[in-house]
Structure 1
Amino acid sequence: MSSPQESTQGATPGQAPSPTGIVVGIDGSEQSNCALIWAAREAKTRNLPLHLVTAYTVPIFAASGLDGGYATVDDDVIRQGAEAVLRESAAKVAHLDIQMDARVENGDAAGVLLELSETAELLVFGSRGRGGFIGRLLGSVSSALPAHAKCATVTVPLSCAKRLGEGPGSEEAIAKIEKVVIVGVDGSDQARYAVLVAAEQAQRSGSTLRIICAVQPYTGSLSWMPAPVDREALFAEIQLQLDAGEKWVRSHFPKLPIEVQLIEGSAVEVLVKASETAELVVMGTRGRGGFAGMMLGSTTDGVRHHAKGPIMVVRDREDPRQGDRSAFGPLLQA
């Protein structure tokens, strides 16, 4: 591994080589520490390089009093502090013996990470950060990244610390984790691509793939409908499509253990609950409603903000494996 100091000297967006492995956002907070550990282990599993990245902007303060003017903070001081944070972070995962480098980028954190996502395979960050001298790498920035990043993103909440082996009570927390990768579906093309990505993740980690479809419970909010909803018929139709989808996935991953669950409940609540014990929950960036009412889009944000475990958000992409889905049975039509 090249030392963080060497790999960050003079680095600005566009100058350093574009990362092609896993990028993790670092700001020295406990949240980014959780993201770092998860990202490093994932890099080990995938045999990919890990790139530690932090970004900052030099603050400018308006002077008060009779003498107008502006004062700036010394750029070198901020950069040295950022480099120190990266060195400390790199040391935490050095024992994994993975290819790793680190870089300090001068610029808006969201813009920096979005640019790096154009070549990275995966972008990992904590759910929120501390701001501080590095600026605002996490927090509101992490909320914007899944919707705009060019690669898949993983949000790792601070509540993952114990399951990652950090702090007292970690053994008990680790024991509760199932060897399962969960993916939320709603019948949309976006969800089908997310299923393929989740299946690859489960196969890579030796886990079971669990496909979950949540159907919004009937409430008074549906009283405007012209006729009563036939819940049994609705569930039967959805189950038929889920069974066909399961056969399709098995055709591409014949050795992968697969489970399918059709659950009545709020999609956000169902997936947040599942995140407590799952290795990973995978979702698409957006959906179209579909047979579950609404699964992705705003639901993805709701799950990410309340999840108890890592959440992967997958960008919608065309995949040739989707071309034979209709051969296995009914699917939701546009």
Structure 2
Amino acid sequence: MSSPEEMPQAATPGAVPSPTGIVVGVDGSEQSTCALIWAAREAKLRKVPLHLVTAYTVPIFAASGLDGGYATVDDDVIRQGAEAILREGAAKVAHLEVEMDARVENGDAAGVLVELSETAELLVFGSRGRGGFMGRLLGSVSTALPAHAKCPTVTVPLSCAPRMSEGPEGAEAISKLEKVVTVGVDGSDQARYAVLVAAEQAERSGCTLRIICAVQPYTGSLAWMPAPVDREALFTEIQEQLDAGEKWLLNHFPKLPMEVTLVEGSAVETLVEATKTSELVVMGTRGRGGFAGMLLGSTTEGVRHHAKGPIMVVHDREDPRQGDRSAFGPLLSV
């Protein structure tokens, strides 16, 4: 591993290999520091390289005075500032002794990170970034990444800072966490793939897998329906599908401890609450249909915006393990 002083390099097209481990966005803000520490710990757990990345564009200002034209900021000055931020970040996680490199990219931060996600195993970033290097890497960029990244993404909110501390504060914060990876399900294909990813994460980290399905409470908004909803029958049907799903999952992860919980309540509120005590909460994207109330899609954004802990967002993709799901009992076609 290169020393933090030597590591940051200017990115030259074709000169730097595409990352295959964990990519973390760094911009010098507190948010990105939280994300960096989480990513470094995860890289150590997975035994994969950690890639620190920051990106910038050179600002162009309209020239003032009698002469027309434009003035630009010195590219070298900006790049040197970016390299300094990467060196500082690398120094903060050097004690974890993970294989690590860093790069400065010239371009739109969201576009750069999405491109790197093509080969990365995981993309990690902070949320609600303000200030920091050029004020560009985090914030609104973190909202765009889960929707467009080609690999799973993890958003680490600033409220996780106590968990990332190496001192007594960190030990106390971690002691309040349950050794649990939580995943939200709604019966969709997207949720089933998210469950597989969550199970792998729980197994890797020695956690219990907690599967939660939240069904929206009956409200007056359903008064237009031609027949009243039989809530008891609905819950019975969903529970049968959850039980079948648990059997299927145990077939693929026979030694993994797991809990399956069916609750009546807001999916967003239920999963936000879970972020307070879970090591990680995993969600799919673009859930359609599924159990009443449709857990995924806009719910994913709602949870991310209010989360108190790391959130992993997983895009749907083909997985051969899903092929035998129907053999274990009823499932909802969506």
Q: Same fold (TM over 0.5)?
A: yes
Output the TM-score relative to the length of structure 2: 0.97
> Contact (CA 8 Å) 1:12, 1:106: kept in 2 or not?
no
Aligned counterpart, 1:247: 247
Please say if 1:301 is aligned against 2:305: no
Change (3 A) 1:13 1:124: farther
Aligned counterpart, 1:184: 184
Q: Distance in 1 between matches of 2:148 and 2:260?
A: 30
Superposed CA deviations along residues 27-56 of structure 1, whole A, max 9, x for unmatched, are 000000000000000000000000000000
Q: Distance in 2 between matches of 1:14 and 1:35?
A: 27
Q: How many residue pairs were aligned?
A: 334
> Contact (CA 8 Å) 1:3, 1:102: kept in 2 or not?
no
Superposed CA deviations along residues 168-224 of structure 1, whole A, max 9, x for unmatched, are 743332211000000000000010000000000000000000000000001111111
Aligned counterpart, 1:198: 198
Aligned counterpart, 1:18: 18
> Contact (CA 8 Å) 1:4, 1:102: kept in 2 or not?
no
Q: CA deviation at 1:6?
A: 5.0
- The letter of the residue matching 1:136 is R
Query: After the TM superposition, which residues 275-286 of structure 1 pair with which residues of structure 2 at under 5 Å, given as runs?
Result: 275-286=275-286
Output the TM-score relative to the length of structure 1: 0.97
Q: Distance in 1 between matches of 2:13 and 2:158?
A: 28
> Contact (CA 8 Å) 1:213, 1:292: kept in 2 or not?
no
Aligned counterpart, 2:267: 267
Aligned counterpart, 2:208: 208
Please say if 1:228 is aligned against 2:228: yes
Q: CA deviation at 1:148?
A: 0.7
RMSD (Å) for aligned C-alpha atoms: 1.4
Q: CA deviation at 1:333?
A: 1.6
SS in 2 for 1:177: coil
> Contact (CA 8 Å) 2:29, 2:133: kept in 1 or not?
no
SS in 1 for 2:113: helix
Change (3 A) 1:282 1:110: same
Change (3 A) 1:4 1:79: farther
**Structure 1, unaligned runs of 5 or more:** none
Q: Greater CA deviation, 215-224 or 58-67?
A: 58-67
Q: CA deviation at 1:315?
A: 1.3
Change (3 A) 1:135 1:325: same
Q: Distance in 2 between matches of 1:45 and 1:321?
A: 24
> Contact (CA 8 Å) 1:154, 1:311: kept in 2 or not?
yes
Q: Distance in 2 between matches of 1:46 and 1:170?
A: 21
> Contact (CA 8 Å) 1:21, 1:122: kept in 2 or not?
yes
- The letter of the residue matching 1:130 is R
Q: CA deviation at 1:68?
A: 1.9
Query: After the TM superposition, which residues 24-173 of structure 1 pair with which residues of structure 2 at under 5 Å, given as runs?
Result: 24-165=24-165, 169-173=169-173
Q: Distance in 1 between matches of 2:61 and 2:241?
A: 59
Q: Distance in 2 between matches of 1:223 and 1:142?
A: 38
SS in 2 for 1:309: coil
> Contact (CA 8 Å) 1:4, 1:83: kept in 2 or not?
no
- The letter of the residue matching 1:93 is V
Q: CA deviation at 1:104?
A: 0.3
> Contact (CA 8 Å) 2:28, 2:133: kept in 1 or not?
no
> Contact (CA 8 Å) 2:4, 2:94: kept in 1 or not?
no
Q: Distance in 1 between matches of 2:15 and 2:188?
A: 39
Q: Distance in 1 between matches of 2:214 and 2:177?
A: 22
- The letter of the residue matching 2:155 is T
Q: CA deviation at 1:12?
A: 4.0
Q: Distance in 1 between matches of 2:161 and 2:233?
A: 43
> Contact (CA 8 Å) 1:19, 1:120: kept in 2 or not?
yes
> Contact (CA 8 Å) 1:25, 1:52: kept in 2 or not?
yes
Q: Distance in 1 between matches of 2:245 and 2:70?
A: 61
Q: Distance in 2 between matches of 1:81 and 1:167?
A: 29
SS in 2 for 1:244: helix
Q: Distance in 2 between matches of 1:92 and 1:53?
A: 15
SS in 2 for 1:81: helix
Aligned identity (percent) is 85
> Contact (CA 8 Å) 1:55, 1:104: kept in 2 or not?
yes
SS in 2 for 1:204: helix
Q: Distance in 2 between matches of 1:91 and 1:220?
A: 56
